Structure 1
Amino acid sequence: MVNLRPYQRAAVLAVYLFWRTKLGSPAVVMPTGSGKTVVIAQLSSDAATRWGGRVLILSHSREIVKQIVNKLRTAFPGLDVGVHAAGLKRHDTQNQIVVAQIQTAHGRACELGAFDVVIIDECHTVSTKNKGRYRKLLADLMVINPNTRVVGFTATPFRLDSGPICTPDGVFSEVCYEVSVAELMRDGYLSPITTKSGCLQPDLSGVRIRGRDYDQQQLGHAMDQEAPVIAACEELVDSTAARSATLIFATSVPHARRIVETLQQEHGLACGFICGATPTAERDATLARFAAGELRFLCNVGVLTTGYDAPHIDCVVLLRPTMSCGLYVQMVGRGFRLHPGKEDCLVLDFGGNVDRHGPIDALRIKTERAGEGAGESIVKTCPECQGQIAVGFLTCPQCGHAFPPPKRQTHRAQATSAPILSMSITNTVYRVADVCYSVHHGRRAAEGAPPTMRVEYAIGRLVWQSEWVCIEHDGYARQKAELWWRARTDLPVPDSVAEAVEIAESGVLATPSAITVCEVEGDQFPKIVAYDFATRSEPQTAASAALSQEGAADA
Structure 2
Amino acid sequence: MTKVACIYELRNYQHQWIKDIWNSWKRGNRRVLAQLPTGAGKTICFAHICQKFFQKQQKVLVIAHRIELITQAAEKLEQIVGEPVGIIKGGCAAHPERRIQVASIQTLARRDILELPLNIGLLLFDEAHHSSASSYRRLIEHYQEAQILGVTATPQRIDGQGFQELFDDLVVGISTSTLIKEGYLSKFRLFTTNQTISTIGVKKSRGDFRAKELAVAVTSQIGVDEIFQNYLKYAKNLRTVIFACSLEHSRALAAKFRRNGIKAEHLDGETPPELRVQILERFRGGETQVITNYEILTEGYDCPNIECIYCVRPTESSTLWLQMTGRVLRTHTLKPTAVIIDVTDNWKKHGLPDEQRQWSLEAKTLTASSSLGLIQCPHCTHAFKPLSHELAIVDGEIGEDGLLIEHHEAICPNCGQAVEFTTKETTEPILEKTYRIRIRHSLNIDLTEIDLSVSGTRLEMVYDMLYEQRLKNAQPAKIYKAIFMTFIERMSEFTLGDWRAIVKMIEPTELAITKKAWELYQEALDRHKNRLLALSFIEQRKLKNQDNPQGIKSTTDKPQTLGSTSKESVPKQQPQSPLIKENLGNVYFQRKYAQEWQKSLAKCSVTTAEFLSQNAGLFHVETTPKFVNISLEIENVPDLKLKLKEVYNSTEIQSAFSQGFGKQAKVMLRLAPSQTQSQSA
When normalised by structure 1's length, the TM-score is 0.63
Deviations 1:60-119 (A, max 9, x none): 134543233223322333x56322123x62444453322221111234443212422111
Alpha-carbon distance in 1 for matches of 2:451, 2:41: 21
Q: 2:214 aligns with which of 189, 208, 219?
A: 219
- 2:131: which partner in 1? 126
User: Is 1:208 matched with 2:212?
Assistant: no
How far does residue 206 in structure 1 lie from its aligned partner after superposition? 2.1
CA RMSD for the aligned pairs?
3.3
Deviations 1:254-287 (A, max 9, x none): 212222233344x432321121222333323322
Alpha-carbon distance in 1 for matches of 2:452, 2:33: 24
- 2:179: which partner in 1? 184
More deviation, 276-285/36-45: 276-285
Q: 2:251 aligns with which of 243, 254, 257?
A: 257
Q: 2:88 aligns with which of 69, 84, 103?
A: 84
150 and 257 in structure 1: CA distance in 2 versus 1, 3 angstrom threshold: same
How far does residue 134 in structure 1 lie from its aligned partner after superposition? 0.7
- 2:79: which partner in 1? 74
Q: Counterparts in 2 of 1:262-277, with a 5 A limit? A: 262-265=256-259, 267-277=260-270
SS in structure 1 opposite 2:63?
strand
Partners of 1:82 and 1:92 within 8 A in 2: yes
Partners of 2:66 and 2:104 within 8 A in 1: yes
How far does residue 421 in structure 1 lie from its aligned partner after superposition? 11
- 1:39: which partner in 2? 45
Corresponding letter in the other structure for 1:4 = L
Q: Counterparts in 2 of 1:350-365, with a 5 A limit? A: 350-360=343-353, 361-363=355-357
Alpha-carbon distance in 1 for matches of 2:196, 2:293: 20
229 and 203 in structure 1: CA distance in 2 versus 1, 3 angstrom threshold: farther
Q: 2:224 aligns with which of 203, 222, 229?
A: 229
Deviations 1:142-178 (A, max 9, x none): 2xxxx3211111000111112553x2xx211222232
Structure 1 spans left out of the alignment, 5+ residues: 375-406, 412-418, 428-518, 528-555
Q: Quick check: which has more Rg, 1 or 2?
A: 2
269 and 294 in structure 1: CA distance in 2 versus 1, 3 angstrom threshold: same
- 1:325: which partner in 2? 318
- 2:34: which partner in 1? 28
Partners of 1:263 and 1:270 within 8 A in 2: yes
- 1:245: which partner in 2? 239
Corresponding letter in the other structure for 1:60 = H
Alpha-carbon distance in 1 for matches of 2:383, 2:358: 13
Partners of 2:24 and 2:169 within 8 A in 1: no
How far does residue 367 in structure 1 lie from its aligned partner after superposition? 5.1
Q: Counterparts in 2 of 1:336-485, with a 5 A limit? A: 336-360=329-353, 361-363=355-357, 368-370=366-368
SS in structure 2 opposite 1:116?
strand
Deviations 1:473-497 (A, max 9, x none): xxxxxxxxxxxxxxxxxxxxxxxxx
Alpha-carbon distance in 2 for matches of 1:103, 1:373: 28
More deviation, 109-118/152-161: 109-118
Deviations 1:168-189 (A, max 9, x none): xx21122223211111111110
Alpha-carbon distance in 2 for matches of 1:190, 1:135: 34
SS in structure 1 opposite 2:120?
coil
How much identity, in percent, do the aligned residues show? 26
Partners of 1:244 and 1:296 within 8 A in 2: yes
315 and 324 in structure 1: CA distance in 2 versus 1, 3 angstrom threshold: same
158 and 264 in structure 1: CA distance in 2 versus 1, 3 angstrom threshold: same
Structure 2 spans left out of the alignment, 5+ residues: 1-5, 373-379, 385-448, 458-499, 509-681
294 and 321 in structure 1: CA distance in 2 versus 1, 3 angstrom threshold: same
| Structure (1/2) with the larger helix percentage | 2
Alpha-carbon distance in 2 for matches of 1:188, 1:312: 16
Deviations 1:167-216 (A, max 9, x none): 2xx21122223211111111110111221114542221121011211010
- 2:137: which partner in 1? 135
Q: 1:56 aligns with which of 46, 55, 61?
A: 61
- 1:403: which partner in 2? none
- 2:639: which partner in 1? none
How far does residue 227 in structure 1 lie from its aligned partner after superposition? 4.7
User: Is 1:95 matched with 2:98?
Assistant: yes
Q: 2:16 aligns with which of 10, 25, 31?
A: 10
SS in structure 2 opposite 1:179?
coil
How far does residue 40 in structure 1 lie from its aligned partner after superposition? 0.8
3 and 426 in structure 1: CA distance in 2 versus 1, 3 angstrom threshold: farther
356 and 526 in structure 1: CA distance in 2 versus 1, 3 angstrom threshold: closer
Partners of 1:314 and 1:335 within 8 A in 2: yes
Residues paired across the two proteins, number: 382
Deviations 1:301-351 (A, max 9, x none): 111112211111110011111111211111111101111121111111122
Alpha-carbon distance in 2 for matches of 1:261, 1:526: 47
How far does residue 425 in structure 1 lie from its aligned partner after superposition? 10
Alpha-carbon distance in 2 for matches of 1:171, 1:373: 23
Alpha-carbon distance in 2 for matches of 1:331, 1:420: 19
- 1:159: which partner in 2? 157
SS in structure 2 opposite 1:263?
helix
64 and 277 in structure 1: CA distance in 2 versus 1, 3 angstrom threshold: closer
Partners of 1:224 and 1:254 within 8 A in 2: no
Partners of 1:156 and 1:326 within 8 A in 2: yes
SS in structure 2 opposite 1:150?
strand
Alpha-carbon distance in 1 for matches of 2:10, 2:33: 19
SS in structure 1 opposite 2:148?
strand
Partners of 1:120 and 1:152 within 8 A in 2: yes
Corresponding letter in the other structure for 1:97 = I
- 2:503: which partner in 1? 522
How far does residue 368 in structure 1 lie from its aligned partner after superposition? 4.6
Corresponding letter in the other structure for 2:136 = Y
Corresponding letter in the other structure for 2:160 = S
Partners of 1:424 and 1:520 within 8 A in 2: yes
SS in structure 2 opposite 1:158?
coil
Alpha-carbon distance in 2 for matches of 1:371, 1:161: 13
When normalised by structure 2's length, the TM-score is 0.52
| Structure (1/2) with the larger strand percentage | 1
